């Protein structure tokens, strides 16, 4: 199989999804109306509610949702062969992610731009809201721990990325000053920032940094993890304009450059896919494809995190409701493209099957490092950039995505801790809240084998939580549809599939963690399992009530039973 064919077929499927399926969803299911007054106009305040051009909003939405996760997941999952990952990413993007993101956006727009947490309170019930907070906290906790491991692995496997990765922090800080203090034009700033970053990449490629063992009494792996958390702690405490804002922006620009480099290289090099379509001879210890594939690739096929971005921010800026198709659905297509690129890099970037098998020697081996080395040889063949420089570019890209998720994640978790403190009646200062978050996250990272021995054990658990969040969002969208007496099947079928796969995966992993004696992960697994069953139960109750009751077609509020069919003895 040639990778160019794979790329074209994948792109054609996702674009067909956008042009056909999203049109169907927009017309028949969500019934987007151009005349609907969106929250951006109705509640316009110049801060949160601002009508925004749909291309700009798409760019913002896409760069917020796409990050390292759609690279890590597929790069791990190709161990089962390229075909399962390819099908799950393409079909998932078309029927799951696109529908989910567009649905979340629509549900939020129809509810004054409220976030999914608020909507779960309204459509699922008060317990639904608490459930939402629990799931979000777990998700943030795991993403921070998993990404620390991902970054550490890349810094060790690609030492040439050390200088650009840490130098990028300085670049971002300077950009922040250029914009707010020196008021330099953003276009000029962007060009300067990108040039500076790529100069650092060239410098880093010339001077790789390999840490001696031990460093300050720690192994290099431990040292990098500690350094990353110290960085994340400091970055999360700084005012956002100093570091987080310019960093997010540069990453967004970098996302487009990276995608361009990857797709152009495949176009010019069109290497053959060496990995088997379906790997008959998976390394020992690899869990079974069903259900683990569906939680290993979360972002890129369906991700609950998108629902948070769609409902929290994008919904408040949607100029016209019909733009939701482009912003929501095409945002998911963008992420699917990144995941597809990761699949191609991790399966076609090797010369022979034996080379590939040597990289994917065990489950959770390979992963992002395989994406970097495979992708580098494709970029080398396609664009003529030296292989080591290409590897540095891709590794830096992946690390920057993961690192911004980490610092933002720590910052958001700090708010969760402070809020939890308020509920308990304790005022937690922000420094202490950050320390609490860091201690928990570092503990989780090391207990999950972050020192290098265990690889990315926590990844499937992260995927499961993400799917759980997606299920919760889908349940809300389904309840909204049921209350409006529309056909909920396009939402219901994916919902049941995702939820069943997540619960199945949790049960399978329960056995693995038990056998490995990883008690912390086992405990987390149990918590997530309980949360999943709870989601299933609560959404079933809410859907039943929505199907039976009568609701005002405008507000979705229950209509007191006066007409026929209102009361029901069994309910």
* Binding site residues, another protein, CB under 8 A: 47-48, 50, 52-53, 55-56, 59-60, 63-64, 179, 185-187, 190, 239-241, 244-245, 248-249, 252, 313, 317
| Closest alpha carbon to 359 in 291, 275, 465 | 275
Distance (Å, rounded) from C-alpha 518 to C-alpha 502? 20
Nearer to another protein, 185 or 288 (CB): 185
Q: Confirm if 77 and 289 have CB atoms less than 8 A apart.
A: no
d(CA 41, CA 376) in angstroms, rounded, equals: 46
User: Measured from the CB atom, is 133 or 242 closer to another protein?
Assistant: 242
Q: Which is nearer to another protein, 7 or 105 (CB)?
A: 105
Q: Are 403 and 374 within 8 A, CB to CB?
A: no
Q: Which two tokens stand for residue 249?
A: 């922006």
Of 120, 116, 31, the C-alpha closest to 321 is 31
| Closest distance to another protein from the beta carbon of 245 (Å) | 5
Give buried/exposed letters for 339-361 (b at 16+ CB in 10 A, else e). bbbbbbbbbbbbeeeeebbebbe
Distance CA 130, CA 501 (A): 23
Quick one: which of 488, 468, 417 has its CA closest to 99? Answer: 488
| Residue 187 or 354 with smaller CB distance to another protein | 187
Closest distance between another protein and the C-beta of residue 523, in Å?
34
CB under 8 Å to 64, separation ≥6 — which residues?
Answer: 309, 313
> CA 370, CA 158: separation in Å to the nearest integer?
11
CB of 278 closer than 8 Å to CB of 84: yes
Nearer to another protein, 219 or 313 (CB): 313
- With respect to another protein, which residue has the nearer C-beta, 186 or 559? 186
Number of H helices, E strands in the chain: 25, 0
Give the nearer residue to another protein in terms of CB position, either 180 or 207.
Answer: 180
Q: How far is the CB of 408 from another protein (least distance, A)?
A: 10
- In the complex, least distance from residue 255 CB atom to another protein, rounded to whole angstroms: 11
Closer CB to another protein, residue 59 or residue 121? 59
Q: What is the DSSP string of 456-491?
A: STTHHHHHHHHHHHHHHHHHHHHHHHHHTT---HHH
Helices marked H in 66-161: 69-77, 82-91, 98-109, 116-123, 126-157
């Amino acid at each position: 199989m040639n990778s160019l064919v794979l790329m074209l077929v994948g792109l054609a499927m996702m674009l067909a999804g956008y042009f056909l399926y999203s049109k169907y969803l927009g017309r028949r299911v969500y019934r987007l109306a151009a005349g609907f007054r969106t929250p951006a106009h109705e509640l316009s305040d110049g801060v949160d509610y601002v009508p925004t051009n749909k291309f700009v909003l798409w760019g913002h939405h896409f760069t917020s949702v796409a990050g390292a996760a759609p690279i890590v997941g597929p790069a791990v999952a190709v161990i089962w062969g390229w075909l399962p990952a390819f099908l799950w990413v393409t079909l998932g993007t078309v029927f799951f992610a696109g529908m989910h993101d567009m649905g979340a956006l629509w549900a939020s727009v129809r509810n004054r731009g409220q976030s999914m947490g608020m909507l779960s309170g309204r459509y699922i019930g008060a317990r639904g809201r608490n459930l939402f907070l629990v799931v979000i906290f777990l998700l943030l906790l795991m993403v921070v721990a998993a990404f620390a491991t991902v970054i550490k692995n890349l810094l060790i496997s690609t030492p040439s990325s050390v200088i650009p990765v840490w130098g990028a922090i300085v670049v971002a800080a300077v950009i922040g000053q250029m914009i707010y203090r020196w008021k330099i034009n953003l276009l000029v700033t962007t060009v300067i920032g990108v040039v500076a970053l790529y100069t650092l990449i060239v410098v880093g490629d010339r001077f790789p940094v390999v840490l001696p063992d031990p460093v300050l009494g720690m192994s290099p792996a431990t040292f990098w993890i500690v350094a990353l958390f110290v960085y994340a702690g400091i970055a999360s405490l700084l005012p956002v304009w100093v570091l987080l804002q310019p960093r997010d922006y540069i990453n967004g620009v970098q996302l487009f450059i990276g995608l361009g480099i990857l797709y152009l290289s495949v176009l010019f090099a069109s290497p053959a896919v060496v990995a088997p379509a379906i790997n008959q001879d998976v390394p020992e210890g690899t869990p079974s494809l069903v259900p683990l594939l569906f939680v290993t690739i979360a972002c890129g096929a369906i991700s609950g995190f998108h629902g948070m971005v769609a409902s929290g921010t994008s919904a408040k800026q949607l100029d016209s409701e019909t733009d939701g198709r482009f912003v929501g659905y095409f945002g998911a297509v963008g992420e699917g493209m990144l995941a597809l690129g990761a699949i191609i890099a991790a399966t076609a970037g090797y010369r022979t099957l034996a080379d590939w098998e040597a990289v994917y020697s065990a489950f959770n081996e390979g992963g992002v490092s395989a994406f970097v080395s495979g992708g580098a040889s494709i970029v080398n063949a396609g664009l003529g950039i030296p292989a080591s420089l290409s590897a540095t570019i891709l590794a830096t890209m992946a690390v920057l995505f993961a690192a911004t998720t980490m610092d933002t994640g720590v910052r958001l978790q700090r708010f969760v801790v402070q809020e939890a403190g308020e509920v308990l009646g304790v005022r937690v200062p922000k420094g202490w809240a950050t320390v609490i978050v860091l201690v928990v996250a570092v503990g989780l990272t090391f207990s999950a084998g972050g020192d290098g021995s265990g690889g990315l054990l926590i990844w499937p658990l992260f995927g499961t939580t993400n799917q759980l969040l997606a299920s919760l969002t889908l349940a809300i969208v389904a309840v909204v549809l049921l209350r409006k007496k529309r056909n909920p099947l396009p939402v219901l079928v994916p919902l049941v599939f995702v939820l069943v796969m997540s619960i199945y995966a949790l049960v399978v992993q329960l056995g693995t963690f038990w056998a490995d004696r990883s008690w912390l992960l086992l405990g987390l697994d149990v918590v997530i399992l309980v949360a999943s069953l709870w989601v299933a139960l609560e959404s079933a109750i809410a859907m039943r009530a929505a199907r039976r009751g009568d609701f005002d077609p405008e507000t979705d509020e229950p209509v007191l039973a006066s007409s026929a069919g209102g009361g029901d003895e069994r309910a």
